[in-house]
Every structure is written in C-alpha cells, then in structure tokens.
C-alpha cells in the first residue's frame, strides 16, 4: 500500500479501504463528538458494519472515478481524512472535504494533505476547479480554505439541515491556474529561505 509523506513529523497520507473498517471505527469513536459538530460522519458510522459500508461506498466511488477517500496517519495512528466527495473529470470540477479527531488539530495536517490531493487532481487529472463547501460556523475549515488560497464564491443561506437546525454554507474554490501560481510562489519562497539559511551558515 502506498503512503505519501506529509512532512518531517512522520505524518502520512494513505488510501482508506474497507479492510480498515475496524481502525476507521476506532478513529471515529475517538473524535465522535468533535467531528460531529459540523460533519454527519458520526451519525453514519456507528458500528463495524456501518464503518465497512461507508468505506465500501468510497471504494465504489474510486472504482467509478467519482470520488476518493484518503486517511491521515500520525504516529502510526489514523487521525483524520481528506476526500473528494464529488469528482467529475468530464466537467473538470471536484469537491474536497476533510475531518480530524481532536488529538490532531492545530498541526497543519489537513492543509498539507489537501495540497497533495489538489496537486494530483489538477496536474494528473485535469481538474480545473476544486470546491470547498463548509458550514458558515466552521471557522477551522474556513481557515483551511484561506490557507489553500481559495476564493469565497458565496453563501448558500440555510441550505444545510443538520441536527434540527438549518445552516448557511459557504462555497470556496480554487482554479487550476490560481493553484499553479500559488504553488510556484511557495516554491520560490522556500528556495529564497534556503539560500538565506546557507548564506547565514557561510558567514559564521
């Protein structure tokens, strides 16, 4: 099974598949209350059978080239996931999403993982627009959209019924040319920082 490094802290991005249903259920149980603030996943994954069914549904999406689900592992433990809820190559549009359990918050894991899957979608699959649809009250997820360089396209008022209340949803997006430009700017900044660090060492 492949794993993609997410940085020097040892975090990895890997596929999440039906055979991992027990590990996935344990992860959801650890974060059930936290994840469930804005995400209906804990209401869907309640036992081993429903855990397996959820992962099987995404395995079907992967086979149909209509979605993807990848887990984030840190310290050898599954702590979150990033996904494409919708993936339409013909239209060139995909919708990304995420969640984390509480122990993994504040480490930049989602931002790093989503950058990997957007790079793949844009450069390998020809996706022109990646969307991020988020509850207007979910400030951490909105912050991820900002860090990814997305633009807020608008607000869908009371479009999302969840746990007895209707929520506004914000739609954010990034277009392929914007994504490439931002990636080039990050690379140039990293290169400049590396040169400065080498020069500082040489002056010692």
State pLDDT tens for residues 114-130: 999 999 999 999 999 99
Has residue 130 been placed in a domain? yes
Has residue 2 been placed in a domain? no
Q: How many domains is the chain partitioned into structurally?
A: 1
- Cα–Cα distance, 97 to 82 (Å, whole number): 6
- Cα–Cα distance, 42 to 48 (Å, whole number): 12
Report the interhelical angle of 176-202 vs 109-125 (nearest 10°). Answer: 120
Has residue 166 been placed in a domain? yes
Quote the domain boundaries for residue 154.
9-202
Has residue 136 been placed in a domain? yes
Has residue 173 been placed in a domain? yes
* CATH code at position 35: 3.40.630.30
pLDDT at 185 (0 to 100): 85
pLDDT at 184 (0 to 100): 87
Q: Which of 76, 143, 152, 156 is nearest to 114 (CA)?
A: 143
pLDDT at 203 (0 to 100): 66
Q: Which residues of the chain have pLDDT under 70?
A: 1, 190-191, 193-204
- DSSP state letter for 103: G
pLDDT at 186 (0 to 100): 79
């Amino acid at each position: 099974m492949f794993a993609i490094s997410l940085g020097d802290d040892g975090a990895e991005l890997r596929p999440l598949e039906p055979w991992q249903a027990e590990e996935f259920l344990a992860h959801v149980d650890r974060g059930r209350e936290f994840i469930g603030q804005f995400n209906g996943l804990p209401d869907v994954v309640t036992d081993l059978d429903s855990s397996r069914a959820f992962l099987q549904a995404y395995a079907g999406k992967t086979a149909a080239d209509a979605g993807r689900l990848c887990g984030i592992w840190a310290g050898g433990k599954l702590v979150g996931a990033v996904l494409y809820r919708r993936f339409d190559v013909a239209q060139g549009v995909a919708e990304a999403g995420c969640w984390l359990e509480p122990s993994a918050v504040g480490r930049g894991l989602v931002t790093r993982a989503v950058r990997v899957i957007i790079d793949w979608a844009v450069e390998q699959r020809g996706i022109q627009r990646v969307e991020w649809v988020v509850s207007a009250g979910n400030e951490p997820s909105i912050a991820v959209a900002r860090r990814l360089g997305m633009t807020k396209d608008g607000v869908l008022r009371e479009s999302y019924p969840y746990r007895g209340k209707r929520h506004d949803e914000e739609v954010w997006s990034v277009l392929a040319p914007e994504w490439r430009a931002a990636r080039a700017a990050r690379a140039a900044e990293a290169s400049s920082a590396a040169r400065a660090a080498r020069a500082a060492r040489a002056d010692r």
